[in-house]
Amino acid sequence: MSDSDSTSRIVPEEDRQGSPPSWRVEGLPEDPPQLAPRPSGAGLLPREPRFWIILLGLLLMNWFIYSWFAGGQAATRARVSYSQFRTEVDAGNVEEVTSVGSAIEGSFLAPVKPGGDGADNPRSGTGAAVTLFRTERPSLGDDKVIDLLLAKGVTVNAQSLTRPVPFWQNLLFGFGPTVLLVGLFVAMFRRGGAGALTGMGRSRAKRVDNEPKRATFADVAGIDEAEDELIEIVDFLRNPERYQRLGATIPRGVLLSGPPGTGKTLLARAVAGEAGVPFFSLSASEFVEMIVGVGASRVRDLFEQAKKAAPAIMFIDELDAIGRARSSGAGIGGHDEREQTLNQILTEMDGFAGAAGVIVLAATNRPEILDPALLRPGRFDRHVVVNPPDIVGRRAILTVHTRQVPLDADVDLAAVAASTPGMVGADLRNLVNEAALLAARRRRVRVCQADFTDAFDKVMLGTARAITVSPAERERTAVHESGHAVTGILMNPADPVRKVSIIPRGASLGVTLQAPEADRYDYDEAYLRGRIVMTLGGRAAEELVYGNVTTGAESDLEKVTQIARQMVGRWGMSAVIGPVAVLPRPGDGPLLPGVDATSPRTQQLVDEEVRRIIDECYVIALGLLADHRERLEALARLLLERETLDEPDIYAAVGFARPGSSTVR
């Protein structure tokens, strides 16, 4: 009975820079750019098919010639018994023999089948008749075979069984493979440059140039402030003389920061598309390897490629992978590969030589952890914050993403935008795609409003699960979710309750959705306490009705603990701790940046204050539900009957007017 959506929605933003609410489900990533193939000279090995065909042909030819000559040295000879050999000598059917040690080779005058029975019928053997033979002379004494051969007029040779290999064959077969391997290594080094044997020193940046479908600012919507900051970059690349005439210089670097999915990568691609210049793109993590010095080598190679193509734009995604603030401690062996890579970037951007004509765009979700030397003017001169869009921006983003989607006349994109506060561009793109998939599954030719509604439920609440729930557990789920809804309605200030469902979705057996009327960027203490009360309403309803609680409130307890700890340790909403930040932001590690660890006494005070706030809110939740138990039970009965209730039905069931009116029935 986990309240997967409403309780998670309670957690406010991590800071006041417009980060989206935590209930938001991250959507699909931006489409990867259509990348042009890497030039033939950049890579570990040559890329031309003709080179590999020639190399393979030479190796096959060398093997064929060797096999042919080696096979020609030893003609196929049949093995015969020594007794059959003596029989053929007595019969005068042996033309010549050659002997070395006990081995005897020779030829018959008339074909003989190997395996004959000797004197009785020497040609009664099996298999095909042969004229070339070989046999072994047994060491049983002197059988005067040489005298017999000479008496029968057989030519006895004294030469070696194997002929000496000609010098040119020794040269070809002995040094041919070596010459081919040396040639391969020479081609690798000439085409790959330094470090071509391993390919580690080469930059892995992908170049996008002269693509027919490059992104432009027409593909960007909802982040107008960030777009305006970058239009100047495009104008400078198009008309540099206008700025140079006044002594202005283009920024060396532009840092794009903001939550995931807000469109930072899309902005960088749009800048390159509008400016019409080469665009080099890669992730910062691609610089770093285990071997020290590889990252710095790749940085040098990347800037060298960009300088040759100048004016050009270089985009480094997830800059914090290599741009973290440097520490005084040294890495293994006194070196730190990440810091060496960062030092090389600092030098290339604003060193002795500099990178003239190259603009570096970088994106990160955590600008606060970047090295100060990287953020100073002369390197990343301009910092652009890409915030989640407001309702107008979301409406514009939906318009962009539905350009290729046939919409029915009943689709109201403004209503969809109003119901998705906190969603970013990637979320909205995912929402449109899910609606289109649902419409296709339902055999429709156009996407209608119902498809958007169902897609929103799927994205926000999770996919419905077809599982069998016992009547008792289903009833407890209805009570739990009704407790969330009733306390959420009764608390003021609070966000309106939009939907309640006891259909199992995702990992929960029921969900309650709350969403604000408008975008919110700040939260007061009363609002946060109200969210804690609402989150604890499900557990309080179970205790009030059944006298005990279940594990269904596990996620609720985790979320209220997180809110209360941030109220006490980050936002100064505790009189005991005071206006002091003693806890780091989520994800920043165990310590507050630049501040020593808090004392055990302070940590104990934080724990005590968190417990006090949660206990007070739980008492409030129990009191509200006890005073309005009939409303709780009425809503639970309606949920059991209809399973899912929308906002009008919820408020009608509990006897309250919808938000906007203070009338209570």
Q: Of residues 30, 337, 481, 609, which has the active-site annotation?
A: 481
Q: Judge whether 75 and 132 are in contact, CB under 8 Å.
A: yes
Q: Judge whether 77 and 88 are in contact, CB under 8 Å.
A: no
Which CA distances in Å does 185 have to 45, 179, 199, 268?
9, 10, 13, 39
Identity of residue 459: V
Transcribe 328-389 into DSSP letters.
SS--GGG--HHHHHHHHHHHHHHSSS--TTEEEEEEES-GGGB-HHHHSTTTS-EEEE-PPP
Transcribe 586-610 into DSSP letters.
TTS-SS-TTSPPPPHHHHHHHHHHH
Comparing C-alpha atoms, which of 520, 554, 514, 517 is closest to residue 536?
A: 554
Mark whether 481 is an active-site residue.
yes
State the Cα–Cα distance between residues 154 and 435, nearest whole angstrom: 96
Q: Judge whether 431 and 26 are in contact, CB under 8 Å.
A: no
State the Cα–Cα distance between residues 661 and 653, nearest whole angstrom: 16
In this structure, what is the dihedral angle of CA atoms 582, 584, 590, 596, given to the nearest 10 degrees? -50
DSSP, collapsed to helix, strand or coil, labels residue 296 as helix
In this structure, what is the dihedral angle of CA atoms 579, 584, 590, 593, given to the nearest 10 degrees? -100
Q: Are strands 206-208 and 279-283 parallel, antiparallel or unpaired?
A: antiparallel
State the Cα–Cα distance between residues 361 and 319, nearest whole angstrom: 10
Q: Supply the residues annotated as catalytic.
A: 481
